[in-house]
Amino acid sequence: MFKKFVSYYKPYKKLFFLDMLFAIVAVLCDLFYPMMTRKLVNDSIPNKNLRMITIFAGALLVIYIVKVACTYFMQYWGHVVGVRMQADMRRDLFKHLQKLPCDYFDNNKTGDIMSKMINDLMDVSELAHHGPEDLFISIVMIIGSFLILITINTPLTLIVFAFVPFVFIFAFVKRNKMKRAFMETRVKTGDINASLQNSISGIRVSKAFVSHNHELKKFQIGNRNFKVARERAYKAMAEYHSGLGFCTDLLDYVVLIVGGYFTYQGKINIGDFMAYILYVKMFTQPIKKLINFVEQYQNGMTGFKRYMEILSEETEKDKEDPMAFNNVKGKIDFKDVSFKYEDKDILSNLNIEIQAGKTLALVGPSGGGKTTLCNLIPRFYDVDSGDILIDNKSIYDISLEDLRSSIGLVQQEVFLFTGTIKENILYGNQKASDEDIITAAKRANIHEFIMSMSKGYDTFIGERGIKLSGGQKQRISIARVFLKNPPILILDEATSALDNTTEYMIQKSLEELCKGRTTIVVAHRLSTIKNADKILVLTDNGVEESGSHEELLTLNGIYSNLYNAQFINNVVS
Ligand SMILES: Nc1ncnc2c1ncn2[C@@H]1O[C@H](COP(=O)(O)OP(=O)(O)OP(=O)(O)O)[C@@H](O)[C@H]1O
Ligand SMILES: [Mg+2]
């Protein structure tokens, strides 16, 4: 894992090393000031060496200019390295995510995946550039000042440094406590977000059931938990900061009292004493930085681990050297197909044959497995046993891209992307011209509606197409498939009832769409069913009846019951 982490530095190697170099130079700059003070007080001032004082003044100015350049570089380019690495990781993650199979998304929460993409990678990027920087700076600073101080006066240095480990331990323990408390508030914030999102998306339901008080109550639970957690975190924060402040005061105290005593005894001179005071003043910085590093390391590595977890999820696999798949005629065969979700059997030993260019209708009770069957053909899910053939080639022997390119899918629940109508139709074929788009929309009977909007094809349709009616969304999804123009068509009709005119329009566009293609249609509408070449009745027990409309009616079984019930309903309405 560490190796993988380091590999992300590779493209920015030069920048990264420059950043480290500048970090070290910046620390060295800081170490100069006390040394010069010492020299001034001990030597130049008593000896009235004005030349030396001027040289020091000039040198210090130069040092500060160097430092400002270094700090600027670190702040700017250091962060740039971090953010570029973050963007690279996010790109890799997104690429991988797009290739994960559907069942990954069935079993993982969108919010979780998003927080991995955003928050975790933010932590990783913080570690990537601040981590090495902080580690370097603090180590150089502590070791550097230790070496300088020990050459001035060994006993005083040892006494002062004897306290340092205690400061570290205190800071570490308290910091950990504070961190845990803040983690807790993060979880609580997540809860609030989740509850808020749920309440907002369900606003129509809560209005309809006049349940705003209930919603408020639910929300207040999370809100109160957040408040309590946050208060606890602030307590821990107060302990950490005040305690650490006390520790550094103690260090100052020791230097002042012990150093003062040593100076009084004449063991060290005034200049050395001043240098001590100045060095110790600088000390809190590297201690804080080191502690900070430990935390960053924990967060960053946890984030990276979660990141690697997704990256190691298995993606959809293509066969090594897939068979060529073109000029698709569209003959489809299900051979002994069995499929289950986790351990729930949905289809078992299913055999279906559809000749090229023919239409097969699937009817049956809700939950019988119709949508599932449709999802097996474009390999959204893989069969557990058996095989599916298209033009006598197993769909597992051809590439996913070829397979999916030859299938047009109108799903039961239409999904439109946030954007314009045009962008959504273009999903059928990104290379299509405006003319093609209009033709497709016309064939889907949606052109006139689109033209009635003030911005026409550039109309923004809101999140998931919320500004459109159910029927309009469906027709746009049909236009998409017209544009794609695939030899095989899978129509999973929406179960929601539409008014007669809309239903008629959709029916017309679907009929037009089916022409010359092999079609599998999950049918809820009488007209669709009647036009099919063959009808399968799919129930929990598998295919119970199959044949043409007339054949099935004479059977007087499930189908004829279903048909009669619908027919009577239709006549009544
Ligand atoms: N992603 C999934 N994970 C686990 N179980 C699922 C999943 N999708 C569907 N199911 C289950 O599989 C069964 C078949 O569902 P499917 O969606 O295929 O039914 P359907 O015949 O299309 O029903 P409808 O006519 O209501 O659309 C159902 O019992 C359902 O609960
Ligand atoms: Mg369904």
CA 367 – ligand 2 centroid, Å: 7
Residue matched to tokens 């240095």: 157
DSSP string, 13-37: HHHHHHHHHHHHHHHHHHHHHHHHH
What single-letter DSSP state applies at residue 397? S
pLDDT at position 498 is 66
Shortest-distance Cα residue to atom 3 of ligand 1: 341
- Residue 161 CA: distances (Å) to CA of 27, 95, 143, 173, 240: 19, 51, 11, 19, 21
pLDDT at position 32 is 87
Residue pair 329/391 in contact (Cβ under 8 Å)? The answer is yes
Each residue's pLDDT tens digit in the chain (573 positions)? Answer: 888 889 999 999 999 999 999 998 998 888 888 888 888 888 888 898 899 899 989 999 999 999 999 999 999 999 999 999 999 999 999 999 999 999 898 888 777 788 778 888 888 888 988 888 888 888 888 888 888 888 888 888 898 888 888 888 888 888 888 888 887 887 787 778 778 877 887 888 888 888 888 889 988 998 999 899 889 989 998 998 898 889 888 888 988 999 999 999 988 888 889 888 888 888 778 888 887 888 788 888 888 888 898 899 999 988 888 888 888 898 999 999 999 998 888 898 889 999 999 999 998 888 888 999 999 999 999 999 999 999 999 999 999 999 999 999 988 888 899 999 999 999 999 999 999 999 999 988 899 999 999 999 999 998 788 888 888 898 899 899 999 989 999 988 766 656 777 777 777 788 888 888 999 999 877 677 777 889 998 888 888 888 888 888 888 888 888 888 776 766 655
Q: In the numeric block, which tokens belong to residue 527?
A: 């007209």
Residue matched to tokens 């990141």: 307
Ligand nearest to the CA of 339: 1
Shortest-distance Cα residue to atom 29 of ligand 1: 367
CA distance 203 to 117: 28
Could you tell me which CATH class the domain 1-153+295-314 is placed in? mainly alpha
CA distance 531 to 493: 15
Name residue 518's beta-bridge partners.
Answer: 488
Residue pair 255/160 in contact (Cβ under 8 Å)? The answer is yes
CA 371 – ligand 1 centroid, Å: 7
Closest atom of ligand 1 to CA, residue 373: 18
CA distance 247 to 243: 6
Ligand nearest to the CA of 495: 1
Residue 354 main-chain phi, psi, to 5 deg = -125, 120
Closest atom of ligand 1 to CA, residue 344: 5
Ligand 1, pocket-test mutation among 108, 371, 375, 377, most atoms within 8 A of CB: 371
Contacts of 448 (CB under 8 A, 6+ apart): none
b (16+ CB within 10 A) / e for 324-341: ebeebebbbbbbebebee
Task: Please name the CATH architecture into which domain 332-572 falls.
Answer: 3-Layer(aba) Sandwich (3.40)
Closest atom of ligand 1 to CA, residue 102: 1
**Sequence ranges of the domains in the chain:** 1-153+295-314, 154-267, 332-572
Shortest-distance Cα residue to atom 8 of ligand 1: 372
pLDDT at position 388 is 95
pLDDT at position 500 is 72
**Within 6 Å (CB) of ligand 1, which residues are found?**
106, 341, 344, 346, 366-372, 412
Name residue 539's beta-bridge partners.
Answer: 542
Ligand 1, pocket-test mutation among 105, 350, 370, most atoms within 8 A of CB: 370
Ligand nearest to the CA of 106: 1
pLDDT at position 495 is 61
Contacts of 244 (CB under 8 A, 6+ apart): 167, 170, 171, 174, 284, 287, 288
Neighbours of 360 (CB within 10 A): 21
CA distance 476 to 506: 10
CA 346 – ligand 1 centroid, Å: 8
- Residue 216 CA: distances (Å) to CA of 77, 195, 211: 47, 10, 9
3-class state of residue 281 by DSSP: helix
Residue 119: closest CA among 314, 264, 304, 327 = 304
